[in-house]
Amino acid sequence: MRRALTLSVLSLLAAASLAAPPALASGNEAKKAEAPSTYFALQPLTATAIRRDGRRGVMIVEAGVEAVDPKLMERARQSEPRLRAAFAQVLMTYTAGLPRGAAPNLDYLGGQMQDAADKVLGRKGSRVLLGSAMVN
């Protein structure tokens, strides 16, 4: 039994090593393949919400920022803590007024977060993208 398990693990490792791409590439190919990043994700945002049964719960929202302009993207990356704080404030204000047991309106929440991002970054041109939202 143990020998069969060892052989199966070794065969999987051998198959994985054959399928792996070469680790080293020439410098020119690596530079050509690397495109500037236009998106980054923030850590999940949380806020207290009232659940359907009246107890307190947590609303968790995954968000990210997309900016095609490289200068705006650089500013967004540098302003990540301020963006997180602004988004958290928007989320806390929204969940404070959320009716008990109601589903969150992500269109409204996304619009409010977009307004906050435009204020933090100082101009329009970025897009706030919401990944998922959950009330637990």
The pTM score is: 0.73
18-60 per-position pLDDT tens digit: 554 555 455 555 555 566 799 999 999 999 998 888 899 999 9
**pLDDT given for residue 3 in this prediction:** 55
State the Rg of the chain over Cα: 22
The beta strand positions in the chain, using DSSP E, are: 39-41, 45-50, 56-67, 126-135
% the chain with pLDDT above 90: 63
